[in-house]
Chains A and B, each alone.
Chain A
Amino acid sequence: MARAATTADTFNAVAEPRRREILEVLVGGERPVNDLVHVLGLAQPQVSKHLRVLREVGAVDVREDGRQRLYRLNGDALKPMHEWLKQFEQSWSERFEALDDVLDDLKQKEQGDGVCDE
């Protein structure tokens, strides 16, 4: 049943390990199906099946070039996930920086105690 792809679909599509491998390969640039078959070590029908899922949600685009079909990433479709990861990572990094300060204090205190107790 045809329907518009949503961000949720993108996330679902990207959650499958093999499809994530395909995306990782495509990060390096446009590739024909045969390349992907070779790099992933999967049978062509499996690769084609994964590519179809990725194409349906807009995560990859395809174009014909002579007899080849070339696949490339569609950054716009993957952007929401990337943005979320960046923000999430940023907030945890800030939290951990504050934790670093606490740990520095604890280390100093421990060393200080060691000396004073003698």
Chain B
Amino acid sequence: MESVTSSGSAKVTLPSDEEILITREFDAPRHLVYKAWTTPELVMRWWSGHRGAMKIAEIDLRVGGTWRYVMVAKEGFEVAFHGEYREIVPEERIVTTEVYEGMPEVGEPALNTVTFTESDGRTTLELLQTVSSKELRDMIIETGMEAGVQEQMDVLEELAISLR
């Protein structure tokens, strides 16, 4: 099995019961990572990953401005998110709200804080997602159900890494 700490993969940790931290290093200077993160035509090229094709990427990059991303999954259904920019420090930090349109709105929207840090021409991106602890638990439970009972878990070490 692949290691969760292999260089190319995103690292996901749970700093608290309301936070998910995603970290990844990119072999590119910060201004380019920021550009790819905030330019609609470029977001269209990467945000859906291999899970489908992007349909809409709208970005009004100013405090109080909104964004909306819509992807068509391989299976045919649409997945849409939108939010509002709360804080923008060009090339350094963006704070936005995030609402998943597939779910009825309950309580506060999730808050995403993205920071870009450059060192030796490489950029570390940190995405901190703050959600309600109920929302996080529900996501985890849903996935757990989908996974069902499979082989005996022998990957506790990976889990320990994730909890750090």
Contact = CB atoms under 8 A, between A and B. Distances in A.
A118 interface: no
B12 A92 contact: yes
B27 interface: yes
Interface string A74-100: 011011111111111101111111111
Interface stretch (A9-17, A30-38, A40-48, A63-71): A9-17
Interface residues of B, number: 50
B45 A101 contact: yes
Interface residues of A, number: 43
5 contacts: A8-B141, A14-B163, A92-B24, A96-B10, A103-B26
Interface of A: 6-8, 11-12, 14-15, 20, 23-24, 27, 73, 75-76, 78-89, 91-104, 106-107, 110
Interface of B: 4, 8-12, 14, 16-17, 20, 22, 24, 26-28, 32-33, 35-36, 42, 45-51, 133, 136-137, 139-141, 143-147, 152-160, 162-164
